[in-house]
Structures are given as structure tokens and as C-alpha cells.
Amino acid sequence: MKRNKIKASSVKQNTKRRKVLVIAVMVLTVVLVAALGFFARDMFIAKKIDNTTAKTTKTTKATETSDKSKTAKPKETPAPTQTPQPKADPNSGYVVLDDWGVRFKPSAGDTFTFEKVPGLDAYDFRTQRQTDLGGDYVKRNKDGTYMCKFHRIIRYAAGTVDAARKPGIVGSINGYDYLHMTPQAACGTTTAEQQVEVAENFKVNALLKTIEAKQ
């Protein structure tokens, strides 16, 4: 009897163990299936997201390309080439001695002529009206100087003009003194010519006093 009881108890325990094992296997199976399901779902969602992202990227690039085409700047028209304007001559309107680097300001309407004196660092000045008188006003000596004595301006190194003639200095420029010498006698042979000569000499005298450095 005891043996039968022991066997029956042993069978019950084995059956119970089998049930527990079956239940455990079933639970593990369910858990495994659920895990596989979740994994498959995550993979599907991830793939869908990747596809959506790829499509969005392509659309964005296409839109950017389209926007760039639309917003492309038109070609700029080159500015017209401007012709440089010549600079105004600061010595315009002056009587200029280029080799001396000086100039004189004539009165409006007056025209003057000048000529280098042979053998001297000097110039003779007269008005155009005196030249137009002709005759002795345009005759020359053998050395090339005019027979008539005109207003003369002589250039000396600064400080070398003797004291007696210093009152005749009309300017000191760039290391030189400029001495003005006036004619001592009339050149005209008629009263009319002499009257013209006197009037024109006043103009030359006024001109030479305006000496200044050339600009």
C-alpha cells in the first residue's frame, strides 16, 4: 500500500512538473512571438521613415534647384566707359615763360608778345599793337635785337643785382631775382606813333609787375 501511494504521489508530481514546463514553454513562445512582432514592426516603421526622409530630401533638393533657377541674378550691364576729362590748365590766360618757370597776368583784352634776347638771360616784351605799327618797331640790328628799345626783364641769381638797380626788381622766385628795365627813349617817328607807344608801355609795365611762379 505504501509503495502504491508513493508511486501515485510521484506520478502526480511528474504531471505537475510537466504542466509547469508546458506553461513555461508556452509563455516563452508567446514572449518570443511578441518580441519578433515588435521587432518586425520597428523594422517596418524605420524603413518607412527612411523612405519618407529620402523622398523629402529629393524634394528639398529639387525645390532648392528650382529656387536657384528662379532667383538667378540677371547679367549686370557694364557701366558705360567714361572718357576722362582733360584737366584745366592752371596757366591758361597767363603769359608764360616756360624755361624760367614764371608767368604774368595780362589785363583783359590785352595781347603781348615776347622774345628771348640773344646772348642774355632776358626777354623783351611789347604789346601786339606796338608790333602792328611796323616800321622801326620790327626792324632788327645785326645781332638780332630790335632797333627799338622795349621793356626788358632780366633774370639774375638771387642777391647778385647791384644796389643801384635793385629798385627795378619786380620779383624773386625760385632762387632768382627778376629785374625790369624800361625803355629810355621813344621809338616812334611820328607823334601818333609815340602816343601809342606811351600808352602801350604802361600796359607792359603793369604786366611785368605781376610776375609769379608758373603753376
Q: Does pTM surpass 0.85?
A: no
Task: Write out the residue range of the structural domain in which residue 174 sits.
Answer: 95-213
Task: Please tell me whether residues 200 and 129 are part of one structural domain.
Answer: yes
How far is the C-alpha of 196 from the C-alpha of 135, rounded, in Å? 14
The ranges of the chain with pLDDT < 50 are 2-6, 54, 56, 60, 62, 69
How far is the C-alpha of 98 from the C-alpha of 81, rounded, in Å? 35
> Residue 104 half-sphere exposure, CB side, CA atoms within 13 Å?
24
- Decide: residue 34, CB within 10 A, 0-12 exposed, 13-18 middle, 19+ buried: exposed
Task: Please tell me whether residues 124 and 194 are part of one structural domain.
Answer: yes
Give which of 127, 146, 94 is closest to 198, Cα–Cα: 127
Residue 114 lies in a domain: yes
Count of CB atoms situated within 10 Å of the CB of 112: 21
How far is the C-alpha of 175 from the C-alpha of 64, rounded, in Å? 76
Task: Please tell me whether residues 101 and 196 are part of one structural domain.
Answer: yes
Predicted confidence (pLDDT) per residue in 44-97, tens digit: 555 555 555 545 455 545 455 555 545 556 667 777 777 878 889 999 999 999
